[in-house]
Structure 1
Amino acid sequence: MESIISFKNENNQSASGYPALSMIVKGILDRLESTYNETYEVFTINEYHFELWSLFEEDLMTNNDQLEHVAMIVEKMERYSFTYDAEGDEPIYKVKQALSNNVYAYREQGIAFAQIPIMDGAHLTNVECVFATSSLAMERFLETIKGRLWQKSRNELLIFTDGMDGLNHEHQPITKRVKREDVLLKHEIKEEIYQMLDCFFEEDRSFFETYQIPYKRGILLYGPPGNGKTTLAKSIAHTVDAPAAYWQITEFTSSESIAQVFQMANRLAPIILIIEDIDSMPDGVRSYFLNTLDGATSKEGIFLIGTTNYPEEIDPGLMNRAGRFDRGYEFALPDESLREQYVHEKKFDKLLSSEEIAAVIKHSEGFSFAQLNELFVSCALESHQKGTVDLYRLIKRMKEDHKKSKTGKWQEEDGQLGFY
C-alpha cells in the first residue's frame, strides 16, 4: 500500500512545521476520497477529546471489523507496534496495529482517524486529526461514543495524570474489586457516605427534584496517609453503578488540564470524579480551580471526591464556601476497635497466637492501616526465614522508625542511620 508521504516525491521532504502538516492533511483527504469515493473534511486537530481516541484505540486493539486501515502516512515508518499484556494467567506480548503514522476509517459511518508524526524542532510529536464526510456523520458518530464510553467506564477506572507534556489519560480495568465491607471506617461515617452516593446515582433523581437541590455533591476525605482514603475511593468507584475518573494532582497541573478534566466529567455525567492529593494543587492555578468549582454547570451531575493527607495545607476556600466541597470526613488513625477488625481480617492468626494478636491490637496504638499491613509482612518474612516471630522487637522497631520519620532525625548516636 502506497504511503501518503513517499520518498519518491522530493517535495515531500522539503516542507516542515505547519506547511508539512497542511500537506499531509491534504494527502490524507485525497486518499480518503480516492478510497471511498466520498469527500472528507477535517473536524478536529489536536483538540482534547480523549473519548474519541479511547474507543478508536480499543477498536484497533480488538480488530473491530468496522475499522479499516487506509494508508501509512510516512513511508518506511511504523506500521505495527507491540504491548505487554500483564492481565490473565499468562502475561504475553501482543503485536498490534500502530496508532501513530497511520490512517484508519469507519467506512460505514464516514469517519476517519489519523495520528500524524511531525518534527517540532528536535522533538517528534503526534498531531491527532479526526475526519468526517459531513457534520451529520460526525454528530451521529459522537452520539454512539458517549453511550459506549459510559458503559466502558463502568468496568474500568479512567485515570488522568498531569505530566510535562500535558494531561495524560488511560483506562485501567477493574481487576481487583474493593467491596464495601473491605472498607474499615467508623460505621456512622461509612454509612453516611454510601447512602449519599446511592441517593445521588438513583436513576430517577427523585430526591434532588423533590427538594429542588442542585444535582452535584462534593466531599473531602482528609487525614494522615495509610488510613483508608484511597481504599474508600476505590470501593466507591467499583461498587457504584456509574463511571468513575481518578485524577492525580501533580506539580504539572495547569488551568488547561483543569478545564479538560471538568469538560470530560460534564460530557460523561453522572460520574464520580476522584481528585487525589488535592493539597498538591500548584499555587498558580488554585484560583482557577476554585472558580471552576463555582461555575454554574461545572459540577452538574458530578459527585466530587477530594483526598488529602495534609488538610492544613488545603485552601480554606475549599471548605468554607458552599458548592465546593459540601462535607469533610476525617480519616483518623484507627482506634482499638478498628485495629482489632483489621488484624482479624488480615489473618494475623496464621502467624501469631491469640495472646500475640491481643498484644498487636494493644501495642499498635498510633499505627495506620498501612503500618499494620507492614507489620504483618514483617511477621510473615521473619516466620518464613527463621520459623519464629519476635513480635515485640518488630513493633518496637516500627515505632522507632515512625518516630524518626516524623522528627527527621535519622542518625543514631553511634553514627548509624535509622534503617539498618
Structure 2
Amino acid sequence: MKKNPTLIKFHDTDSNTISHYYDYAVALNKIKELLIQRLGNGLKLCTTDVGIEEVFVTIEQLLERNDPDIEVLAHIYDTVGTTTINQTDDEKYKVTPSLTNNIFYFPAYKVAIVRVPIYQSHSDYIQDFIFNNDDGLLLDFLNYCIEKQRSFMLDGITVLTDTEEGLERSREQVTHQVHREDVLLDEDVKVNIFRSIDEFFSEGGSFYKEYAIPYKRGILLYGSPGNGKTTLVKSIAGSVTAPVVYWQITEYTNSYSIKEVFSTVTKMAPMILIIEDIDSMPEESRSIFLNTLDGATTKEGIFLIGTTNYPAKIDPALINRAGRFDRAYEIKQPDERLRKEYLFKKGLLQFITDETLDNLAVQTKGLSIAQLNELHMSVALEWHYEKQVNVEKIVKELQENLKKTIKQDWESEEYVGRLGF
C-alpha cells in the first residue's frame, strides 16, 4: 500500500498561521491546493443539504473490497486516526482507511469527497464536503454510488436500527436459505403472497404498468408468535433479486429516522422493506409514519411487509386505507395436516413409527411451529442419550407449558422453589 501525504502537520503550525489547529477552513484550503493539481483551476467546493450518508456507505464497502474505482489521495491531520479496525461478515478483523480524515478521489468522475473532523471549544463534529469541476459528472457520480450500493445490498440483508445516536446501519448474510417449499402455510395464502411478490419484481413491474396500477404494495402478516411469520419473511428475502431492508423499530424511532429510512429505501427501489413488530411504533411517531406512507413518491417501487403478533394493537388506519397495507394475511396456528407435514420434514420418522407420527399430529393440537420444533429437538436429544424416547411425555410437558403461558400461571407446586439463583 502506497504511503499518502499528510497535508497539515502539528509541528508546522503556530498561532500566526492558524488560530486553532483544527480550524477547518485551513484544512479545506490545503485540500483544494492538492486537488487543483488533479482537477485544474476549475475546482468547486460543494456542500449538500440532503445528506450523503449513502455515499459514505458505498465508500466504506468499496474500501473493504479494494475497489480500483476509488483512491485515497492524502490524510488531513497527522494527529487524527487514518485507519479503522472493522469486522467482516465472516467475523474476521480487517483494517481499512477511516471514512474521516482521508481524501477519497474517484478519477472516472473527477470527484473528491472528504469528511473533515472539526474540533472547537464548544463542540466536536464532522462535516462532509465534495470537490468537483463538472456538475454533470458529479450527478453521474451520485447515481453511480446509488447503483453500487444497490448491488452491494443484494449480498445479504441491510438492517436499519433506530438508536439513541440515530439510525444505525448493518448488514447480515443469509446463512441459511429458507426455500419456499419449506414454508408451511395455508396454500391459498402462500400462493397469493408469493404471486404478488414475483409479479412486483418481474420485468421492472410491467404488470403494474400494463394495468395502470400504482407501483407500490404493502402486506401485513399477523398471528400468534412462533407460527412462521419470520420464516416466511426470510424465504421472501432470500428468493428475490432485489435489495431487502429490515427496519428495526425501537423506542427511539422518531420523525427524523422515519424520514431517513424512507429516503434511503426510495433511492434503492425497486426493493423490499420489512418492518417486524410494527405495533411497537411509538405512539408519538405513528401519525408521521402514516403520513409518510401516504406520500406520493415515498413508496414508489417499494414492497412493504409488516408483521405483528398483536393485531389488536395495530392502528386501524394502517390497514383500512389503500396505499398503506393493501392486504392483511393471518398466519394461523398449523392445523393437523400442517403439523404432520412439519414433523415429517424435520425427520421425526428416524425416531418413531408412522403410526406414532399420525398420533402426534393429533396430540399436538394448539402447538405453534416453534413448539413443534422444540418437540423435534427434545425427541432427538432423548434418543441420542437413551436410544429410546417417550414422545407422549414430551408432548404433555409442552402442552402444560403452553397452558401456563396462556394463563401466565407459573407457580404450581411442581415449580415452587425451583426457580431463582
Alpha-carbon distance between aligned partners in 1 of 2:400 and 2:302, rounded to the nearest angstrom? 43
Aligned partner of 1:227 in structure 2 is 227
Q: Which amino acid counterpart does residue 77 of structure 2 have in structure 1? A: V
Q: In the alignment, is residue 7 of structure 1 matched against residue 22 of structure 2?
A: no
Alpha-carbon distance between aligned partners in 2 of 1:120 and 1:107, rounded to the nearest angstrom? 33
In the alignment, which of 60, 68, 71 is matched to residue 57 of structure 1?
A: 60
Contact 2:178 2:235 survives alignment (8 Å): yes
Aligned partner of 1:262 in structure 2 is 262
CA offset at residue 204 of structure 1?
5.6
Alpha-carbon distance between aligned partners in 2 of 1:391 and 1:196, rounded to the nearest angstrom? 40
CA offset at residue 42 of structure 1?
4.1
Aligned partner of 2:287 in structure 1 is 287
Alpha-carbon distance between aligned partners in 1 of 2:411 and 2:119, rounded to the nearest angstrom? 51
Alpha-carbon distance between aligned partners in 2 of 1:114 and 1:350, rounded to the nearest angstrom? 61
Distance 1:260 1:85, change over 3 A: closer
Give the count of matched residue pairs. 415
Aligned partner of 2:416 in structure 1 is 415
C-alpha deviations, 1:268-322, integer Å up to 9, x for none? 2222211111111111110011111111222122111111111111001001112
Distance 1:121 1:384, change over 3 A: farther
Aligned partner of 1:381 in structure 2 is 381
Q: State the SS of the aligned residue for 1:73.
A: strand
Unmatched tracts of structure 1, length 5 or more: none
Unmatched tracts of structure 2, length 5 or more: none
Aligned partner of 2:331 in structure 1 is 331
In the alignment, which of 35, 51, 73 is matched to residue 32 of structure 1?
A: 35
Q: In the alignment, is residue 69 of structure 1 matched against residue 72 of structure 2?
A: yes
Alpha-carbon distance between aligned partners in 2 of 1:60 and 1:205, rounded to the nearest angstrom? 33
Alpha-carbon distance between aligned partners in 2 of 1:347 and 1:384, rounded to the nearest angstrom? 14
C-alpha deviations, 1:148-187, integer Å up to 9, x for none? 3333333332221111111122333334332211211110
Aligned partner of 1:361 in structure 2 is 361
Distance 1:20 1:359, change over 3 A: farther
Distance 1:309 1:417, change over 3 A: farther
CA offset at residue 75 of structure 1?
1.5
Q: In the alignment, is residue 297 of structure 1 matched against residue 297 of structure 2?
A: yes
Distance 1:385 1:6, change over 3 A: farther
Identity %: 39
Q: Which amino acid counterpart does residue 163 of structure 1 have in structure 2? A: T
Farther-moved stretch of structure 1 (220-229 vs 126-135): 126-135
Cα RMSD of the aligned pairs, angstroms, is 2.9
Q: Which amino acid counterpart does residue 388 of structure 2 have in structure 1? A: T
Farther-moved stretch of structure 1 (67-76 vs 228-237): 67-76
Query: What aligned pairs does 1:389-400 form with structure 2 within 5 A after superposition?
Result: 389-400=389-400
Q: State the SS of the aligned residue for 1:155.
A: coil
Query: What aligned pairs does 1:156-171 form with structure 2 within 5 A after superposition?
Result: 156-171=156-171
Farther-moved stretch of structure 1 (106-115 vs 327-336): 106-115
Contact 1:404 1:418 survives alignment (8 Å): no
Aligned partner of 2:136 in structure 1 is 136
Distance 1:337 1:81, change over 3 A: same
Contact 2:89 2:172 survives alignment (8 Å): no
Contact 1:224 1:310 survives alignment (8 Å): yes
Contact 1:217 1:326 survives alignment (8 Å): yes
Contact 2:18 2:26 survives alignment (8 Å): no
Distance 1:337 1:7, change over 3 A: same
Farther-moved stretch of structure 1 (262-271 vs 180-189): 262-271
Aligned partner of 1:242 in structure 2 is 242
Alpha-carbon distance between aligned partners in 2 of 1:133 and 1:393, rounded to the nearest angstrom? 76
Q: State the SS of the aligned residue for 1:321.
A: coil
CA offset at residue 362 of structure 1?
2.1
What TM-score comes out, normalization by structure 2 length?
Answer: 0.88
What TM-score comes out, normalization by structure 1 length?
Answer: 0.88
CA offset at residue 22 of structure 1?
4.3
